[in-house]
Chains A and B, each alone.
Chain A
């Protein structure tokens, strides 16, 4: 079925898109990591609005709950754990890095937009299925039906992934006993020999 938006939805799209791009610029230009994280939360919220416009209510809820609710809280927790520090943008080891990044970014942007303009007119010829025919909560029902029938194996594989990640995080964040772990000699030379005891950060318990 053809996709059409009401004028109000068009206004919502443009507002959300502009705010998403502006806060996306804010992510990579903020000196402070806290401001970057807050800008990323704004971007994620705008993307949730766009998902609602695209009739993906479940994904919009997941976006708010998991991304803005869980992942970004973890980010903010780690930022405050490590202390807020301001890094300069680019190191002095690669003086051409910023120019190269701008050129490559421009290439990437125009390349992707070019291929979008090339392919979208022929690839999207209007919906063939019946998934979005029902415009409201029936959509979520169809999503759940597909998730638990056709895609049940990937869905059952995600808990394995999550528990592997959790075990890995616990193993990485474990408190190390000092006499048992001897750092390799190369590492020992490069780290400062005597870190001040008060500068020792809190060990994490994840």
Chain B
């Protein structure tokens, strides 16, 4: 029988996996996918509390978060493509031109 804790622990595991993806990968596309994974784990938490508290607010939060994620993906991928057009490479270790 799953309880709220099971959903929350699953959400924590997915969030940690997303964090590890951002920390250890160098491909900005995979880092971006890890950020999406973190967003989705938070969405799972919102829906879980929406179910267990009998309130639609969490689902409305998730709806807004999905919209923000769509906008974020559009801008982020445009940035990655723009960087790739300039530098012909998108290894994040090489993108240090703004380092002070």
Contact = CB atoms under 8 A, between A and B. Distances in A.
A150 to B, nearest CB: 8
Interface residues of A, number: 101
Given A130-B54, A169-B75, A172-B75, A28 B17 contact: yes
- Interface SS, A side: helix
Contacts, number: 255
A54 B48 contact: yes
Interface residues of B, number: 76
Interface of B: 1-10, 12-21, 23-27, 29-30, 32-34, 36-37, 40, 43-44, 47-57, 59-60, 62-64, 66-75, 77-82, 84-88, 90-91, 93, 97
27 contacts: A3-B51, A30-B30, A33-B30, A47-B43, A54-B48, A55-B51, A56-B50, A56-B62, A59-B43, A59-B47, A75-B33, A82-B80, A102-B20, A105-B19, A116-B8, A124-B53, A126-B52, A127-B52, A129-B54, A129-B55, A158-B68, A162-B67, A172-B75, A186-B97, A187-B86, A199-B88, A204-B81
